[in-house]
């Protein structure tokens, strides 16, 4: 009897020790972060150390970007993949589909805890929002770039990359949706925008606000998005080889319908009207939009203003015109949501629901 108790006690103690060691190893294990490089200024080079405009984007490879920041190895087990090497003004729907599918494949792997995407800043907010709608995981996805090329004095790329890897490997960023991290700040993909052509503090979420900061090697979140994203999204690109064509018509005083008519004639399935003010329709343009709608083109009323709610039935009778209101999405992000909406429906009531959901 005594021997049996001793044996059972020993077995219990050994099991406990193994469990504690395993837990410790788990917490002590660095997160596995994959860096997907696409190009941009973070990978750019200038003729001199003071060249901060007029440099060449998308010239430095992902391994070189990683080697330039040896501190990365202290915060994550990092692997690099060169997905593209382009300036982001040249990003296409095809690039987005390739990138989104690669992100989903990687995040489905148990040995990947988070992803960093290095990207040009010109269209970073658009790629981020596209991924916010199609990534099928709650794991962190963090887009990062730089406003100064890698060769510049006080280049911002290395610290931005280090911070992005910290966020991508953190528990705090799980479930927060796709993020943009630059200049020690963390922004939600849906609401962030580039606000300055050249300064390192260019990315802002003007009225709805950033989500948090990176400080002292840690991310600090103070807010979260109230809209659906990533794992809760109804959109799926797994079997898509193309996205419906959606174009943006920019509003201004004395505008005409030349661009609108050309887009519709070229087969656009949707038009984003980036109107003045609260999405107002110029008298000379409204008939062209009504005619396009009658041909089956989906019309979304957005605003060029940048902040505020684009109110349904505000500056136009959307119910009567069968138009969709963009809510608070910028024209460039409304285009992304409409493209994905059109992969599922052409019903304007359902599309309007999507604009109030994401
Ligand atoms: N050509 C721009 C781009 O790739 C450079 C801007 C940048 O990356 O900061 O987006």
Q: What is the pLDDT along the chain (358 residues), one digit of tens a residue?
A: 566 656 677 766 666 666 655 555 545 799 999 999 999 999 888 788 887 888 778 888 999 999 999 999 999 999 999 999 999 999 999 999 999 999 999 999 999 999 999 999 999 999 999 999 999 999 999 999 999 998 889 999 999 999 999 999 999 999 999 999 999 999 999 999 999 999 999 999 999 999 999 999 999 999 999 999 999 999 999 999 999 999 999 999 999 999 999 999 999 999 999 999 999 999 999 999 999 999 999 999 999 999 999 999 999 999 999 999 999 999 999 999 999 999 999 999 999 999 999 9
Give the three-class secondary structure for 56: strand
On whether both 68 and 130 belong to a single domain, the answer is yes
Query: Is residue 334 in a domain?
Result: yes
Domain hosting residue 154, numbered range: 31-232
Distance 56 CA to ligand 1 centre (A): 9
Q: Write down the H helix ranges in 268-343.
A: 286-294, 318-321, 331-341
- Which amino acids bring their CB within 6 angstroms of ligand 1? 40-41, 57, 87-89, 120-122, 145-147
* Distance from C-alpha of 347 to C-alpha of 349, rounded to nearest angstrom: 6
From 232, 264, 281, the end of a domain falls on 232
* Distance from C-alpha of 277 to C-alpha of 11, rounded to nearest angstrom: 73
On whether both 228 and 250 belong to a single domain, the answer is no
Cα dihedral: 137, 343, 345, 256 (round 10): 120
Distance 120 CA to ligand 1 centre (A): 4
- Closest ligand 1 atom to the C-alpha of 147? 9
Triad 246, 250, 252: Cα angle to 5°: 160
Q: List the catalytic residues.
A: 41, 121
* Distance from C-alpha of 196 to C-alpha of 156, rounded to nearest angstrom: 15
On whether both 132 and 179 belong to a single domain, the answer is yes
pTM reported for the whole predicted model: 0.92
- The helix (run of H) or strand (run of E) holding residue 186 is strand 185-188
Binding-site annotation, residues for substrate: 88, 121-122
Return the CATH number at 108.
Answer: 3.40.50.1170
Residues 6 or more apart whose Cβ sits within 8 Å of residue 252? 276, 304
Mutate to test the pocket of ligand 1, among 37, 38, 40, 45 (most ligand atoms within 8 A of CB): 40
Sign of CA dihedral 232, 238, 239, 245: positive
Distance 197 CA to ligand 1 centre (A): 10
Instruction: Note the pLDDT tens digit of each residue in 332-348.
Output: 999 999 999 999 999 99
Q: What are phi and psi of 260, to 5 degrees?
A: -60, -50
On whether both 277 and 167 belong to a single domain, the answer is no
Q: How many domains does the chain have?
A: 2
Distance 252 CA to ligand 1 centre (A): 27
Instruction: Note the pLDDT tens digit of each residue in 252-272.
Output: 999 999 999 999 999 999 999
On whether both 193 and 327 belong to a single domain, the answer is no
Nearest-CA residue for atom 1 of ligand 1: 87
On whether both 225 and 253 belong to a single domain, the answer is no
Query: Is residue 192 in a domain?
Result: yes
């Amino acid at each position: 009897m005594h021997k049996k108790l001793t044996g059972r006690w020993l077995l219990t103690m050994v099991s406990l020790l193994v469990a504690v060691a395993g837990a410790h190893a788990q917490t002590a294990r660095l997160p596995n972060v994959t860096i997907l490089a696409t190009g941009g200024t973070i990978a750019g080079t200038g003729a001199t150390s003071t060249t901060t405009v007029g440099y060449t984007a998308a010239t430095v490879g992902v391994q070189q970007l990683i080697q330039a920041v040896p501190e990365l190895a202290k915060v994550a087990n990092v692997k690099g993949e060169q997905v593209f090497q382009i300036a982001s003004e040249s990003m296409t729907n095809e690039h987005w589909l390739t990138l989104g599918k690669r992100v989903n494949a990687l995040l489905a792997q148990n040995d990947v805890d988070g992803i960093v995407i290095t990207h040009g800043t010109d269209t970073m907010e658009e790629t981020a929002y596209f991924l916010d709608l199609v990534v099928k995981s709650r794991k962190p996805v963090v887009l990062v770039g730089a406003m100064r090329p890698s060769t510049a004095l006080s280049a911002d790329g290395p610290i931005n990359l280090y911070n992005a890897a910290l966020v991508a490997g953190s528990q705090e960023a799980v479930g927060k949706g796709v993020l943009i991290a630059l200049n020690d700040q963390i922004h939600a993909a849906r609401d962030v925008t580039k606000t300055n052509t050249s300064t390192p503090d260019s990315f802002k979420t003007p009225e709805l606000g950033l989500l948090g900061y990176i400080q002292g090697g840690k991310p600090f979140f103070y807010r979260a998005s109230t809209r659906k994203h990533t794992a809760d999204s109804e959109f799926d690109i797994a079997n898509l080889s193309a996205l419906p064509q959606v174009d943006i018509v920019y509003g201004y005083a004395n505008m005409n319908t030349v661009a609108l008519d050309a887009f519709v004639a070229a087969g656009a399935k949707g038009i984003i009207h980036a109107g003045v003010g609260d999405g107002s329709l110029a008298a000379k343009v409204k008939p062209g939009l009504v005619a396009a709608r009658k041909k089956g083109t989906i019309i979304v009323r957005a605003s060029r203003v940048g902040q505020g709610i684009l109110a349904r039935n505000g500056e136009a009778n959307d119910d009567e015109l069968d138009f969709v209101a963009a809510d608070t999405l910028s024209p460039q992000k409304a285009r992304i949501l409409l493209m994905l909406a059109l992969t599922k429906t052409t019903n304007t009531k359902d599309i309007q629901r999507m604009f109030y959901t994401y």
